[in-house]
Amino acid sequence: MTAIPPQTSLINICTYFQTWPKHRSMFLMYGTRHSSSAADWLPKVPGTKDPSRIEMEPMATLDGIYGHAGGTRNGAEGSKGDRQDAPAAPARPLGLSGLRRRFAKGQKLSMVTAYDFPSARFARSAGVELVLVGDSLGNCRLGLPDTVGVTMEDMLRATTAVRRGVDAASGSSPKPLVIGDMPFGSYLTPEDALRNAAAFRVAGADIVKLEGGCHLAPLVKALTNAGIGVMSHIGLEPQRALLQGGFRLQGTTATSAVEIVSSAKELVRAGAVVLVLEMVPEEAVGWMTYSANPDIAADFYGFENPKASIDMLLNWGPIMYLPVAPVAGWMIARHPDSIWAVVFCGGALTAAGLVLRILPTLLGFHPTSLIVHGCIHVGQALNGAAGPANCVTPSALAAMWFPPHQRGFATSAVFAIQMAGPTLGFLLGLCVRSRNDLVLLLEVEAAMSVAVLAVWACLPRKPSVPPSRSQEIRRSGEPQASAVPRRRMISTWVLLLAAGAVVGVFQCWSPALPTQLQGVLPETVLKWFAVITSLASVIGNFTAPQLIEMLHLQHRLKSVLGVTLCLQLVAYALFAVLLPDSPLPLMKGSTGSLMACVVLASIAEGAMAPIVYELSAELTYPMSEGVTGAAFSWLINFFGMVLLAVYPVVPSAYDSIMMVAVSAVALIGLQLVIAEYPRRELDDGACGTELLRD
């Protein structure tokens, strides 16, 4: 008779394949199964009358449960003539490729722990995808107090038995992936890890499991390079439970949760094929789900240094923007009617860049080839060069096509359309879940850019009738007023510097907030953070011109701009105080209060742009509106690049305080601006020589 009666072992095994109440933390060892469906899933055991009641009677052999080769499974003692050998099912290992296919299709995967031949047979027959030969063998089978005392010999013997059970089981389901759990002390050095992992492979394990975080990334990479797949185990690590404070929940603080997420990313980049997260909060798991771990683009293109490569692709925008923006402004200044051509050139560069990113892949080049890598970088550079052609034009397009009372709204509409591009790209990016989705997204973006370019090519170059007196004078070539006075030029540069600093720093500060707020805000909010801030900016962008027209503040743009800066100053100051890790911990903010501060700042920042475009165009009249638009957009990107340069030096806790300082300096600088409205005076037909001022 075995140490544990066979009936008990049978019920323990069956519990793996039955939905088990969460409050029942241990498997059934003896007694009654209180389940109305027990008879449906418990096999009949000799000596039992009620399948839901197991009588503890010894059995001489296990033949009654498992049967002989070709025997019956219900333990009935049929004659030899009644037994017919069933044909063996073809061995179809699932493998890592099959595992990935099921995961890509959204199928749920099941994994059980097995230590011996019979439990492995049950697992294979039940269609389980992964079978772990765990070092919990020590405290579940060998009577040890924990897993530390388990040796390589113990694990190799158990792995061999499980492999035999998986191979011997019949059924149509593929063979599950067998995972060997490397015991304590078996991977202290790379040499030990390689030797012992190879022993697991010889014993029958398909891959091996290691417990540990990012410090094991070099070890995972070494095993992967040796052709041995690795399952990484993070969160609660039983082999290190003493150092982790015992068998308790891990990742309960923001710092520890971020460490778990960082470890997961590093291990996957090193080559880990599966991750095990034990006793980790749901929020920490959600971060890995929504952050596309590993990064799909980096995996698709096979970047050796994913972070540096992705950062370079994203930085092509500001890199190309700074030298190209002055050229676009110069073209519009020399030829005010060339706005249509400038926008068309921008659209052509965008379409060329997006097509170039996907073309080599469509032609059959491997995504990891140098040709594909070169094309995506050139495509991103072309997209960056196209930015100025589109961003310098809001106020110029509004002045060319719309009457004075609609210019403010038209400027905000053009600017909002430009802002909608990144938001649309973010929403489309949420749909990317695999390499095929990434390729499809690149194809859709390329097709959309070509379609937009074709639509723009069909639009007229300029309106047949000028919409305002100022545009009529500019088009007729009549002698215009003298050069822009020095006081107005100085005011214009002060205005553009102040507004460019606020908007540029905000546009780089806002995308970094989700990382800073991990563990503070819910994952759902962080997932949609970019969309929330973009929509808030668009609301401010559209609302400000409407309020200006409604309240007749067309000649008080400087005052309205001061209000938006005050709102941002208040929002940033409150946000800096309410942050949990704030250097000024006066109070702890809730999720709602923190998001309210960010939304208020986004609305005020969105309201700034159309006001700055219009006020700078007024100050520099009769110069083309595109000149100040080019200068404003250039300064936005310049200050954004400056922030990116100093960002690694500034502690994250001081980011919000930096925004408070920038807003305060901009508000002080605004007081030096002398606001005048010569264009508005001309279009309104104002009499007298005194210019309208705030």
Instruction: For 317-376, write each residue's pLDDT tens digit.
Output: 777 877 887 887 777 777 766 778 888 888 898 899 889 988 998 898 888 888 988 998
User: Distance of alpha carbon 209 from its chain centroid, rounded?
Assistant: 27
Residue 481 lies in a domain: no
Listing from the earlier edge strand, what are the strands of the sheet with 274-278?
111-113, 130-133, 177-181, 207-211, 229-235, 274-278
* Position 523 confidence tier, pLDDT thresholds 50, 70, 90: low
For residue 11, give the nearest of 132, 32, 24 by alpha carbon. 32
Residues 400 and 287 in one domain: no
Residues 232 and 362 in one domain: no
601 with 568: CB under 8 angstroms?
yes
Instruction: For 483-493, write each residue's pLDDT tens digit.
Output: 788 899 999 99
- Where in 63-133 does DSSP place strands (E)? 111-113, 130-133
Domain with residue 580: its CATH number is 1.20.1250.20
Residues 492 and 416 in one domain: no
Instruction: For 678-693, write each residue's pLDDT tens digit.
Output: 888 888 764 444 555 5
Among 107-121, 122-136, 516-530, 619-633, the least confident range: 516-530
Q: Which two tokens stand for residue 593?
A: 């209060």
Residues 430 and 493 in one domain: no
Instruction: For 551-572, write each residue's pLDDT tens digit.
Output: 888 889 999 999 999 999 999 9
Residue 208 lies in a domain: yes
Range of the domain at 34: 1-80
Domain with residue 218: its CATH number is 3.20.20.60
Q: Output 21 or 568, whichever has higher pLDDT.
A: 568
Residue 133 lies in a domain: yes
278 part of the active site:
yes
Q: What does the pLDDT read at residue 537?
A: 87
Domain final residue, candidates 243, 271, 301: 301
Task: Tell me the sheet residues that pair with 204.
Answer: none
Residues 5 and 108 in one domain: no
Residues 20 and 37 in one domain: yes
Residue 329 lies in a domain: yes
Cis peptide before 622 (omega within 30 of 0): yes
For residues 380 and 297, give the distance between their C-alpha atoms in angstroms, rounded to a whole number. Answer: 14
pLDDT of 480 above 70: no
Q: What average pLDDT does range 386-390 have in this prediction?
A: 75
Residue 365 lies in a domain: yes
Q: What does the pLDDT read at residue 403?
A: 84
Q: H or E stretch including 31? A: none
Residue 473 lies in a domain: no
Q: Which two tokens stand for residue 472?
A: 């009529």
pLDDT more than 90, % of the chain: 20
For residues 140 and 12, give the distance between their C-alpha atoms in angstroms, rounded to a whole number. Answer: 11
Half-sphere exposure of 377 (CA within 13 A, CB side): 14
Q: Which two tokens stand for residue 629?
A: 């638009």
Residues 138 and 280 in one domain: yes
Among candidate residues 278, 443, 472, 549, the one labeled active-site is 278
Residues 433 and 570 in one domain: no
Residue 475 lies in a domain: no
* Total tally of structural domains belonging to the chain: 4
Length of the chain: 694
Task: Tell me the sheet residues that pair with 274.
Answer: 231
Domain final residue, candidates 301, 327, 359: 301
Residues 143 and 191 in one domain: yes
For residues 558 and 570, give the distance between their C-alpha atoms in angstroms, rounded to a whole number. Answer: 19
HEC states along 226-268?
CCCEEEEEEECCHHHCCCCCCCCCCCCCHHHHHHHHHHHHHHH
C-alpha distances (whole Å) from 386 to each of 45, 61, 415, 419, 538 are 75, 79, 15, 15, 22
131 with 158: CB under 8 angstroms?
no
Domain final residue, candidates 80, 114, 135: 80
Residues 455 and 523 in one domain: no
- Render the burial of 55-92: b for 16+ CB within 10 Å, e for the rest: eeeebeeeebbbeeeebeeebeeeeeeeeeeeeeeeee
Q: Which two tokens stand for residue 201?
A: 């492979």
Instruction: For 436-470, write each residue's pLDDT tens digit.
Output: 877 888 888 889 889 988 998 998 888 878 788 77
Q: How many C-beta atoms surround the C-beta of residue 693 within 10 A?
A: 11
Q: What does the pLDDT read at residue 26?
A: 38
Residues 232 and 354 in one domain: no
Burial (CB count <10 Å: 0-12, 13-18, 19+), residue 551: exposed
Half-sphere exposure of 633 (CA within 13 A, CB side): 33
For residues 339 and 460, give the distance between their C-alpha atoms in angstroms, rounded to a whole number. Answer: 11
Residues 316 and 297 in one domain: no
What is the full DSSP assignment across 124-189?
HHTT-SEEEE-TTHHHHTS--SSSTT--HHHHHHHHHHHHHHHHH--SSSPBPEEEEEPPTTTTSS
Q: What average pLDDT does range 250-256 have in this prediction?
A: 56
Q: What does the pLDDT read at residue 178?
A: 94
pLDDT of 593 above 50: yes
Residue 336 lies in a domain: yes
